[in-house]
Structure 1
């Protein structure tokens, strides 16, 4: 990609994407800013820390005007609701713990936005994600960000090889403090704007109310039972519980109890000891490979992350079918939840990842 090329920058209205756009202008590229309106900005306009609605669209447009490049807002509310919000609600109803940010990247940002960028004649889609795209042998590789505290590689595991060749991530080699410094240097009004929240469409963090609105009946009452069959109490909706949860169970017991299973058909929350949480292996589905898939015909010893805040553990990854794999942990892992992603790393490089399947968790 040569200097002066036309590039599209995904702009959420936050400091990261704004600085990304400014850096591309400074480097001599022709920039087009694109913002996706993802949900009703009338309802969300006052939500602090949101993105892709209301004030944030205005902030993105203000940055584009200051830097002197065209800015387009595309209405993707319908696509976002079907691909992200509905999936979010259904996952909770199925007793899973969803990751809507991954679905958004997979189904909207790195799909439709990328297609739009190509249609506009852009040579690349530039985003403000904290990941690195590094040269490999014959293809590009996806790596963790230099700033480990900001690394977003877990959320981008569904990025395909074809998409990776077209994407660029200018912030992957920077600490967040330097990004803020750039924002002040460019005189951007968003320089001190708070970071967006993980779930942008959930007002005040109350995800249960969002699920109830999307799926009436989601807060139906049910039983809290012990693994040994004892009835310990009742709950007001399985969506208020996650695997591994200890606090706020609404029951009293002599020993510490954790949520170890959620039965969506019986509307039961099943609790037990910490030892009952231990898992030795999981199956993952819809695996996206960023490495020659034939390599995984033989078991590979890698580091895997089973949730975004997970530090990563040693595990053996073996492919079962084209898009399925079994992951065997070197040591028992606790709090493994269906609906979360299991992402495979070799050093800083992402080799692939998939979704932890609910009906194939193994003790």
Structure 2
């Protein structure tokens, strides 16, 4: 259970049984104590206050924030009402001062309850709701609130997660660093996991694309079977262009191409994209077999015009892997002289249970 996959599964199991875990946000070098909102107890809240900053938040989906009438505390001029993450603080009606561990545990459990209503809470109070991004750690906004909700959902709990930053025990005026977080998790027998590991786990077990269309496309190079796919989060549309039979019986020559408006459409000479795509189509026609996976990133990509829109190899590989699985292709061929992006991508594809053969006469990966 020392692998990242195993660490995430341990964390999910702990949250599922109402226990806390340590979640590391490596992007900001912070660690959080996290547990399911519907598992909140006075003992858990007491432990949390002792070892954290005490600024305890409850991550909720946007639908729950709207249903429970939890408006944002403030927002910038012109910003939509649903954007600001931090919501108006609340206390459950019928609690005492609202600040004790017992009172906060009751408020948190009520926020997580399916039958909770907006009128169940006083405003302002002592518990801080936070709206998490719609796609959890797989969305563009991926922080501790998203990780807390993802762990709760993966543990089959209600979509509400408690989170609070862990304070350094060596120097209480600072936050715990990675070494202390690891020591803290070991000392209290808690799983420890990073946000990036949760994201990788979700991309591995949850389909990243769904099949949306299929047709036979007549082209100047001949007729090809084309299957359309839609990204489950961003809504991006991808194509698999296939010559010959796509099955598990034989390795499939594969060319992966990330859309480039300037090269693919206008034939720009500032990049190799258009020429590589033309070469892949010609090779497919010549061999009578092969596949081109044409990926469209969330933002327009045009070499020499727009910058900063290149797709990350890891995300590209996950999308490609799910497309290949859907098509029943489990072995592909890759050129020995493929660019660095191709080597990184197919190294990641192998982690998805697909086999990559290296054949020098087959096309490189483009984009």
Taking structure 2 as the reference length, what is the TM-score of the superposition?
0.28
Larger radius of gyration: 2
**Higher strand share goes to which structure?**
1
